[in-house]
A = this chain, B = another copy of it.
Amino acid sequence: MAGIEAIIRPMDELDAEIVRLLQTDARLSNRELARRLGVAPSTCLERVRALARRGVIRGYHADIDLQALGRGVQALVSLQVRPLSRTVIDRIQGDVAGMPEVLSVFVVAGGDDLVLHVAVPDLDHLHAFLLERLSRRPEIGGFRTSVIFQHVRSTVLERLGDPA
């Protein structure tokens, strides 16, 4: 089972290449995109729109340097939630996702229930965040913090598995 989108409308080679190129540079002009694909601009435009309509392309975002935002210190915070219920998880998740320090929230299975990726100005701010924003919440059982030395994201995501 590989996602319902693949059923509604399979992505052909042209779509895949568009997705690849726009992951690398979302500001490529439609004209340039068409040139690289070897198709007419009008064709390319329609493809890109269809991909957005189908939800394959979810948006276009500028990638900002965290240092420049004064947030050079990053950490992963793993935490347990109790009681572990849908309601409590959802509430905490919503709350933490809204905190400015938080880049992303993972709801996970296993020893931990939530993992937060946070970015703050310095270690003092990290400490304050942990003590004042997390420790105080009674639904949070305990947490473990790992400071991040380095973070590498892969630039282009390709389709994986069963090639239709």
A63: which B residues are within 8 A, CB to CB? 57-61
A112: which B residues are within 8 A, CB to CB? 146
**8 A-B pairs in the complex with CB atoms less than 8 angstroms apart:** A2-B122, A4-B67, A5-B68, A57-B63, A70-B162, A76-B108, A107-B150, A122-B161
Q: How many copies does the complex hold?
A: 2
A26 within 8 A of B: yes
Report the interface size for chain A: residues with CB under 8 A from the other chain. Answer: 73
Within the complex, the shortest CB–CB distance from A123 to chain B, in Å, comes to 10
Is the pair A110, B150 in contact by a Cβ cutoff of 8 Å? Answer: no
Residue in A97, A101, A120, A121 with the greatest tally of chain B CB atoms within 10 Å:
A121
A residues whose Cβ falls under 8 Å from a Cβ of B = 1-6, 11, 19, 22-27, 54-72, 76, 93, 97, 100-112, 115, 119-122, 125, 144-155, 157-162
Write the chain B residue with the least CB distance to A102: B154
A27 to B66, CA, bound (A): 21
Within the complex, the shortest CB–CB distance from A133 to chain B, in Å, comes to 13
